[in-house]
């Protein structure tokens, strides 16, 4: 059986880059999360905009904002992100069962480097079906709105007052 590649097919990976750019607001932020350099994010965004034949983003200084079309594309891509990643995990593992899914974690840079990064490496080794997005920022993200699944923040301990 011969499979022909469609030359005008939309590349899911390009959508993944747009999603992360929309979440991070900058090429460098998206690049860090995706584990690539900012030029790769820029090239993937350009390829996606060429496919659409229209701008999906507008640059404002170092930050990137979505156009109306970009917002629609991100909303649609967000709905298919988890099923697409699940299919990729199945293909990569040959259907192996175990813990799987995506987790969005947020922490200050210090907390992430001191506590999360060492633990996540071991967790990832034990459960390759898990994938993480680690957001290091002082901005508080809403767990209720699913901006993050887990938030690690420094704060004063809650202690009962003595006597």
Domain ranges of the chain: 10-94, 98-153
Given a cut of 60, is residue 4 above it in pLDDT?
no
**160 by DSSP, 3-state: which?**
coil
Q: Would you state the pLDDT for residue 8?
A: 65
Per the CB < 8 A criterion, the answer to whether 52 and 69 are in contact is yes
Least confident window among 4-18, 33-47, 62-76, 86-100: 86-100
Q: Would you state the pLDDT for residue 97?
A: 52
Instruction: Please report, for the chain, how many H helices and E strands are present, in that order.
Output: 6, 5
CA distance 64 to 14: 16
H helix intervals, 11-116:
12-24, 27-34, 38-52, 68-93, 109-111
CA 117 to mean position of chain CA atoms: 16
Match domain 10-94 to its CATH number in 3.40.190.10, 3.30.365.10, 1.10.10.10, 3.40.50.300: 1.10.10.10
Match domain 98-153 to its CATH number in 3.30.360.10, 3.10.50.40, 1.10.10.60, 3.40.190.10: 3.40.190.10
Per the CB < 8 A criterion, the answer to whether 124 and 132 are in contact is yes
CA distance 108 to 33: 15
Residue 94: CB atoms within 10 Å: 6
Q: Would you place residue 19 in the very low, low, confident or very high pLDDT band (cuts 50, 70, 90)?
A: very high
**What are the tens digits of pLDDT across the range 28-45?**
888 888 888 889 999 999
């Amino acid at each position: 059986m011969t499979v022909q590649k469609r030359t005008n097919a939309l590349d899911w990976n390009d959508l993944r880059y747009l999603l992360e750019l929309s979440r991070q607001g900058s090429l460098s932020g998206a690049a860090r999360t995706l584990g690539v350099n900012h030029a790769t994010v820029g090239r993937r965004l350009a390829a996606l905009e060429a496919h659409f034949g229209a701008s999906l983003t507008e640059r404002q200084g170092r930050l990137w904002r979505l156009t109306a079309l970009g917002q629609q594309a991100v909303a649609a891509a967000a709905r298919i992100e988890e099923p697409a990643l699940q299919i990729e995990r199945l293909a990569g593992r040959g259907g192996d069962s175990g813990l799987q899914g995506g987790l969005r974690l947020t922490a200050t840079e210090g907390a992430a480097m001191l506590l999360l990064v060492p633990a996540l490496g071991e967790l990832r080794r034990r459960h390759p079906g898990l994938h993480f997005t680690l957001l290091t920022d002082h901005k508080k993200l809403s767990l209720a709105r699913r901006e993050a699944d887990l938030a690690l923040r420094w704060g004063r301990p809650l202690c009962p007052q003595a006597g």
